Structure 1
Amino acid sequence: MTGLRRFLSAPPAEEAVVRCELCATPMPEEHPHLVHVVDRRLLCACGPCAFLFDAPGAGGYARVPDRYLADPGSAPSGPEWDALQIPVGIAFFLRNSVREAVVACYPSPAGATESELTLDAWAAGPGASPLAAELHPDVEALLVRREPAACLLVPIDACYRLVGLVRLHWRGFDGGPEAREAIDAFFAELHERARPIGSRV
């Protein structure tokens, strides 16, 4: 995930200029991202370059959309979570179009840990939710938190921003108060940005 290295380490004293990874144009901190579907690489892109890849699969890339949806009723129950065999309380799920499978990832101090779900566990749990039906393959994910219960559809780059926060702030066995505060603030930001599923606003 070369384009998201800034999420994975502490920022330098003087921020380097962020440049488009396709044309090297300087960009603001908030900018589009592209996913190379086969390699599963995220790249930073300027607006004009990102526009070239608006069509799904153009040149092997897909543009990461900028939508956030919420549905409190989509959060998996305790038994549904246990059936997924996710060992932590936060995970994100995406549809991988190359593998033709649902992939589960969860943040850890070592980065994003990935495991493939059984289709039964997915279909009986988060996969049956209205949010899962909205997922665009490769570029969006279902981000789920066990406590407090939350289920959000988010761009895939938001998930890797969470991975970077965990790596940056995690201390000791349970993460420590700094990591918990960073995670809480991250979810609060997502909830502010998210609109209810079905909303036309």
Structure 2
Amino acid sequence: MTAPHPVRAAAEAAARQPRGLRRFTAPRPPAPETCELCGAPVPEDHRHLVDTDRRSLACACADCALLMDRPGAAGGRFRAVPDRRLTDPGHGFDDGLWDRLGIPVGVVFFFRNTALDRLVALYPSPAGATEHQLEPEGERAVLDATRLAGELAPDTEAVLVRRTDGHTECHLVPVDLAYELTGRMRTLWRGFDGGAEARAAVDGLFAEVRRTARTLGAPRP
């Protein structure tokens, strides 16, 4: 049997990704991205909406994102992703909790899915964002481990946690940033553990989060 052409196979795989995630998981297309509500061109640093029906991200122009910031807009189907970033230096994600949760890698993010009415855990893998099933006691342990979990805006924000050499950091970030991380790792993943390039991408993203995040409980600047 003839092996599939590698370029064609990559293009077909990219086409199956939700449009809002393609810029994180595939080569940038020559045509500019457009708002998925009105069709207007959007800049590279455009905002995203969560499509709660499809459980996916959608690109949005500034006007449509502003419109979807209003409670109940579009019957609640689309929710604008905010840009809030918080960090919790007093979190309880110690080694014992990590082991009890059974997370197989060093990075995971959690968000509240309103359609499923539960906390969802996802981690990076060569296949992209992979769901880790949380038992009810595991969900309760996450909620107890950080006050950030109680701060989450449903569907649009995530608690992003990283464990490295006995040190663990915990941040609240926009959910599209968490998906960006998994997308970067998917494209850069090499070997069993991801490889140096993927680890460098993770280091860079977390450094940027630490630089921009406000400490939980600290006054706004």
- 1:35 corresponds to which residue? 50
In the other structure, the counterpart of 1:25 is 40
CA-to-aligned-CA distance 1:135-184 (integer Å, 9 cap, x gap) = 11100010000114110000110011001110111111111111111111
State the secondary structure of the residue aligned to 2:63: helix
Mapping for residues 1-150 of structure 1, pairs under 5 Å: 1-11=18-28, 15-59=30-74, 60-74=77-91, 76-147=93-164, 148-150=167-169
Is the Cα contact below 8 Å between 2:21 and 2:57 reproduced in 1?
yes
When normalised by structure 2's length, the TM-score is: 0.85
* TM-score, L = length of structure 1: 0.93
The answer to whether the 8 Å contact 2:125/2:182 transfers is yes
* Alpha-carbon contact 1:169-1:178 (below 8 Å) kept: yes
Does 1:162 find its partner at 2:214? no
State the Cα deviation string for residues 14-48 of structure 1 (Å, max 9, x = none).
Answer: x5312111112112111111111132111010011
State the Cα distance separating 1:129 from its structure 2 match: 1.3
> Sequence identity, in percent?
52
Q: Which runs of 4+ in 1 moved over 3 A?
A: 125-128
Structure 2 unaligned regions, length at least 5: 1-17
Per the alignment, do residues 127 and 119 of structure 1 end up closer, same or farther by CA in structure 2, a change over 3 Å counting?
Answer: farther
Q: Structure 1: 5+ residue runs without aligned partners?
A: none
Name the count of aligned residue pairs: 199
Q: Relative to structure 1, is the Cα distance of residues 2 and 127 closer, same or farther in structure 2, using a 3 angstrom cutoff? A: farther
Question: Aligned equivalents of 1:106 and 1:175: distance in 2?
Answer: 13
- Taking a change above 3 Å as real, the CA distance of residues 178 and 75 of structure 1, as seen in their structure-2 partners, is farther
Tell me the alpha carbon deviations over residues 96-145 of structure 1, each in whole angstroms, 9 at most, x when there is no partner.
11111111000111111013311212222454411111111100010000
1:171-182 equivalence runs, <5 A: 171-182=190-201
Q: Counterpart amino acid of 1:89?
A: G
Of the two structures, which has the highest relative contact order with CA contacts closer than 8 Å and spacing of 6 or more? 1
1:57 positional shift = 4.5
